Structure 1
């Protein structure tokens, strides 16, 4: 019995390292997409509060897809999913304001809600709140 306990610790460490590596890999992909997006006219218009409805729609769609991507590549951990889903509405809200953040959070949160599970409601609300809070914060930062 003592031997099994000693052998279980390295296995848990490997699982944790694989999980961390996977989340870092997903985060790097999101940063790369954001970097590419930051070079576009759409980004410049959205960030400067000069966005057309089409610019806003493109931003919402891009970041909603990233939020859904973050959910689908999540790692199951004790019945929940460890992922980077909330990063997308946070970035969208921060660069585009509350409306873009809220809509992005709603879309990514709705996708999470439809997956079900015992964490469906809190995870969905957290995704929405990420967009709301970042959107409100962006207004404060842009004023100063």
Structure 2
């Protein structure tokens, strides 16, 4: 087992709700999607984007991971978002770019107000799971896809 699998296995009892998906206000679990066109252009799977409740640890993921970072929460609120969940939902539904991050994971980027509002996603067999969210000034990585360009 690798280090990440060991952490996950050891944390299952500590965080039993980690994989519970957080709905949008309308009750839908799909916050947005990577379309067939975008997926083909970026060489990633097409599918819905979903937000797990997550784990608040440094190596964690999901809503709890982002909420456990006070500086990030303040930065998100300073940009006018009432909370982390609204930020993630808005980026997931409005992203304009797919960028390959330094660890190879796709970053979904929404350019708004001089920022690259970003969510990092991981493929989970049938959907994209939000790992973390960041309000970057400029997202770093290789541009894989930009909506409106072929």
Q: State the TM-score, normalized to the length of structure 1.
A: 0.25
- More strand, by proportion: 2
* Structure of larger gyration radius: 1
